[in-house]
Amino acid sequence: MNRRIVQFLLVSASTVCVASAFADPTPLRDDIQVRHVVDLDRNTFRIAKDPRDNVLHVQVNKGTISRLVIPASDELVGETIAQGRPDAAGDLVWSFIRPDVDLPADVPIVAIREAHESGTTRATNPVDGIIYAISTSNGNIIAAPRTVAATREDYRIEAARGMYIGEDGTVYVTLDTDVVNAPRLVPVASSADHGFTDVQGFDIGPDGTFYIGAITRSGGRVNNIARGVLDPGTGERTWTVIARTEPIPPGTKNHPHPGIVLSPDGRWVFLNSGSRTDHGEVAPATGYPEGTREVPLSSTILRVPAEGEGIVIPADRDALRASGYLYADGFRNAFDMGFAPNGDMFACDNGPDSDLPDALMWVREGHHFGFPWRMGGIDNPQTFADYDPVVDNYILFTRSSARNDGLFHNDPGFPPPPMAFSDPVINLGPDADRLRDPVTGDAIDASDERLIVKTFTPHSSPLGIVFDEDFAMSSEFNGDGFVLRTGGDCCNLIGSFNDPDEDLLHLDMEKVGDNYEAHITRIVGGFQGPMDAEVIGNRIYVIERSGPRAMWEITLPRLLPTAVAETDGDALPQESALEQNYPNPFNAETAITYRVNVSGDVDLAVFDLAGQRIRTLFSGRRDAGAYAVRWNGRDDGGTAVASGVYLYRLKTPEFNEARRLTLLK
What's the predicted TM-score (pTM) here? 0.78
Average pLDDT of 190-209? 96
> Looking at residue 190, what is its pLDDT?
97
CA dihedral defined by 385, 389, 390, 396, rounded to 10 degrees? Answer: 140
Compute the distance between CA of residue 399 and CA of residue 392 in angstroms, rounded to an integer: 14
**pLDDT recorded at residue 110:** 96
Tell me yes or no: is domain 577-663 CATH 3.80.10.10.
Answer: no
Q: How confident is the model at residue 198 (pLDDT cuts 50, 70, 90)?
A: very high
How confident is residue 547, by pLDDT bands cut at 50, 70 and 90? confident
Give 23's pLDDT tier (boundaries 50, 70, 90).
Answer: low
DSSP string, 368-422: B--TTTEETTEE-GGGSTT--GGG-TTTTT---HHHHTT--S--TTPPPPSS--P
What would the pLDDT profile of 557-613 be if each residue is shown by its tens digit? Answer: 987 654 444 444 445 677 889 999 888 888 878 889 898 988 889 999 999 988 899
Quick one: pLDDT at residue 471? 82
Residue 549 DSSP SS3: coil
pLDDT tens digits along 281-327: 999 999 999 999 999 999 999 999 999 999 999 999 999 999 999 99
Least trusted range by pLDDT, from 11-20, 346-355, 564-573: 11-20
As a whole-number percent, the residues of the chain with pLDDT over 70 amount to 94
User: Which residues in 439-458 are b (16+ Cβ under 10 Å) and which e?
Assistant: eeeebbbbbeeeebbbbbbb
pLDDT at site 567: 43
User: Dihedrals φ, ψ of 53, to 5°?
Assistant: -140, 5
Q: Give the C-alpha separation, 382 to 406, whole Å.
A: 13
301-321 in b/e form (b: 16+ CB < 10 A) is: bbbbebebeeeebbbeeeebe
Weakest mean pLDDT among 119-123, 402-406, 489-493, 602-606: 489-493
Q: Residue 614's pLDDT is what?
A: 93
Q: Residue 39 contacts by C-beta under 8 Å, 6 or more apart in sequence?
A: 17, 18, 19, 20, 548, 549, 550, 551
pLDDT of residue 423: 96
pLDDT: which is higher, 8 or 95? 95
Query: For position 273, what pLDDT does the model report?
Result: 98
pLDDT class of 9 with cuts at 50, 70, 90: very low
Please name every residue paired with 504 in a beta bridge, in sequence order, or none if there are none: 484, 524
| Residues pairing with 488 in the sheet | none
Say if residue 20's pLDDT is above 80. Answer: no
Would you kindly state where each structural domain of the chain is located, as residue ranges? 31-70+185-555, 76-180, 577-663
Give the integer Cα–Cα distance in Å for 221 and 245: 9
Q: How many CB atoms lie within 10 A of CB 174?
A: 25
| β-bridge pairing 237-245 and 311-313 | parallel
**Any residues with CB less than 8 A from the CB of 16 and at least 6 apart, and which?**
158, 159, 179, 180, 182, 184
pLDDT of residue 646 exceeding 60: yes
pLDDT of residue 3: 28
365-379, 490-504, 545-559: which has the minimum mean pLDDT? Answer: 490-504
C-alpha separations of 39 from 47, 148, 435, 542 in Å: 13, 31, 35, 11
What is the tens place of the pLDDT at every residue in 62-76?
A: 999 999 998 877 788
Residue 8: pLDDT above 90? no
pLDDT at residue 7 tops 70: no
In angstroms, the Cα distances linking 649 to 295, 619, 623 are: 43, 11, 18
* Distance of alpha carbon 59 from alpha carbon 635, whole angstroms: 37
Query: Poorest-confidence range of 323-327, 540-544, 627-631?
Result: 627-631
CA distance 545 to 399: 23
- Residue 665 clears pLDDT 90, i.e. is over it: no
The whole-number average pLDDT for the span 156-181 is 94
- Please give the span between the terminal C-alpha atoms of the chain, in angstroms, as a whole number: 55
CB 457 within 8 A of CB 501: yes
Lowest mean pLDDT segment, chosen from 169-173, 227-231, 618-622: 618-622
Percent of the chain with pLDDT over 90: 73
pLDDT of residue 13 exceeding 60, the answer is no
Label residues 590-611 b or e (16+ Cβ within 10 Å = b).
bbbbbbbbeeeebebbbebbee
Round to whole Å and give the CA distance between 319 and 323: 6
Average pLDDT over the chain, rounded to an integer: 90
Contact 500, 445 (CB under 8 A): no
How many residues are given for the chain?
665
Phi, psi of 595 (to 5 degrees): -130, 145
> For the domain with range 31-70+185-555, which CATH number is right: 1.10.287.990, 2.120.10.30, 3.40.190.10, 1.10.1740.10?
2.120.10.30
Torsions phi, psi for 154 (to 5 deg)? -75, -55
Q: What is the pLDDT of residue 5?
A: 27
CA 59 – CA 190 distance, rounded (Å): 9
Comparing 363-372, 443-452, 591-600, the range with the smallest average pLDDT is 591-600
Helix (H, G, I), strand (E, B) or coil at 469: coil
